[in-house]
Amino acid sequence: MPDISDLLKAGAGDPLAPPDLDRAVRRGAQRTRNRLVAQAAVGSSVVVVAAVAGLSLAGGGTSKAQVGPGSGLGQTRLLPDDSLPTSGPSADPRLQPVAAADPSQLPDGFNFVLVRSVQPDGSLVVDKVTRTTDVTAQGKCAQAQDGSYSPADVFSFCWSNQNAKLRTVPLASGVTTVPFQPDGGPREDLSRDDLGRLLTSGNDLLKTEVYVVAVSHNTVESIALAGNV
């Protein structure tokens, strides 16, 4: 009879490459710096904006694209760009086009974009954009700078953290009105529970993919699929 340990050792293979200690130390140090910066800049969006630069996407590499005008009422899309990756999940044209008709509507930083449906031409109908106001989550955004967290990790944290607040930002005219803004004001904080109710309240189309869009100076820097809601 084979020994289970021997069997597992055979299945694990032989990791020949030695650990890259220098790289591990660099990543650890960078992460600590980011956390300290985030803690020092409580309430400041500077941290999140800084995290945009050099963002590494999970599975798709960093993508950059120019934002073009919307293709119609409530429809938003990204125009193709030569710098988009040519392979990986992000290379799928049906996964790329997520943005706002008017990029100035997207605040700098990480935006959680809830996508309602996919159009035949590949553009996505966006319901709304949220951003986190939670300090720890902002720290995680900052840590995404060196690839230590992916946008999906950031979103998972915000989604699972009872204390995380997501701030809703209205999109261009024609986009579905977001509840919890009774006065139609430009912004309102949503708790996780509020957002959960919003996403499950009577409209199955709202229960769909969530993307993280990083914006800097009104330019969409990167897009990543964060997960399903």
Partner 1 sequence: MDSRDREELAVFCAREHRRLVGTLTLHCGDPGVAAELAQEALARACQHWGSVREMNAPGAWVHRVAINLSSSYYRRRKAERSATERFGGRRQLGEEASDAVEPAEVLAVRRAVAALPSRQRTALVLRYYSDLSVEQTAEAMGCRPGTVKSLTSQAMAGLRASGLADLEETHA
- Where does this chain bind partner 1 (CB under 8 A)? 1-5, 7-13, 15, 17-21, 23-25, 27-29, 31-32, 58-59, 87-89, 91-92, 94-95, 118, 148, 150, 152-153, 156, 209, 225-228
d(CA 50, CA 53): 6
In angstroms, give the least distance from the CB of 189 to partner 1: 26
User: Exposed/middle/buried for 228, CB within 10 Å: 0-12, 13-18, 19+?
Assistant: exposed
Q: Which is nearer to partner 1, 18 or 43 (CB)?
A: 18
Rounded (10°) CA dihedral 209, 46, 38, 130: -20
- Closer CB to partner 1, 67 or 95, in the complex: 95
Total residue count of the chain as it appears in this document: 229
CB of 45 to partner 1, least distance (A): 25
Minimum CB separation of residue 81 from partner 1 in Å reads: 19
Identity of the residue, 103 or 159, whose beta carbon is nearer to partner 1 in the bound complex: 159
Neighbours of 56 (CB within 10 A): 17
Return the number of the residue (92 or 189) whose C-beta is nearest partner 1.
92
- Least Cα distance to 190 among 211, 210, 165 occurs for 165
To partner 1, the closest distance from the beta carbon of 184 in angstroms equals: 32
Q: Taking the complex as a whole, how short is the minimal distance between the CB of residue 7 and partner 1, in angstroms? A: 6
Identify which of 145, 69, 61, 161 has the alpha carbon closest to the alpha carbon of residue 110. 145
CB of 76 to partner 1, least distance (A): 17
Q: In angstroms, what CA-CA distances link 82 with 45, 79, 214? A: 30, 10, 18
Instruction: Identify which of residues 111 and 150 has a Cβ nearer to partner 1 in the complex.
Output: 150
- Chain centroid to Cα 65, Å, comes to 15
The two three-digit tokens of residue 130, written as one number: 């949220």
Q: Give the Cα separation of 114 and 209 in Å (integer).
A: 6
Give the residue with the Cβ less far from partner 1, 105 or 143: 143
In single-letter form, the type of residue at position 193 comes to D
